[in-house]
Amino acid sequence: MDFKQINTFEKALEFKGETLEQFNERTKGMDVDMKGLEKIHVIVFALNGGKHVKEGYYPWFYNPNRSSVSFSFNVFNYDSDHAFVCARQLLETRELARYAGDTFPLEYSQYINNTND
């Protein structure tokens, strides 16, 4: 599957074999940021074609106001994955990192800013 076909959170869930209802049930009672993190895990898994990568890229955002206002994708960064830092958040290529930042800013904002806005 071409990663550009995964252009909504629901399509990322579909790739993983999970429905939105199942996801909502699984994450019921979680704090907003933790639910956002779970969304990021689903999105990254789908964009990476079902693989967990140990070295790769992640989107980098500029957020001067510490709120979802003016929250925008800025660039990407290369890193290696450690179990305690960025686990399951790395994307395999720069192109995937750029695509994730451009396509899923609300999901990343939910995780980073702890807000549904």
pTM of the full structure:
0.81
Residue range 11-64, pLDDT digits in tens: 999 999 999 999 999 999 999 999 999 999 999 999 999 998 888 888 877 665
Encoded tokens for 32: 């907003």
The number of folded domains in the chain is 1
In a domain, 12, yes or no: yes
Of the candidates 3, 5, 42, the residue with the CA atom closest to the CA atom of residue 22 = 42
User: Where do the H-state alpha helices sit in 1-117?
Assistant: 9-16, 20-26, 32-47, 94-103, 105-113
In a domain, 3, yes or no: no
- 62 beta partners: 72
In a domain, 2, yes or no: no
What is the dihedral angle through the alpha carbons of 91, 86, 105, 73, rounded to the nearest 10 degrees? Answer: -80
Encoded tokens for 85: 């830092």
Q: Which one-letter DSSP state was computed for residue 54?
A: S
> Domain limits at 70?
8-113
Residue range 61-116, pLDDT digits in tens: 766 555 544 445 555 555 554 444 455 689 999 999 989 988 998 898 898 888 88
In a domain, 1, yes or no: no
* Three-state secondary-structure class, residue 91: strand
In a domain, 96, yes or no: yes
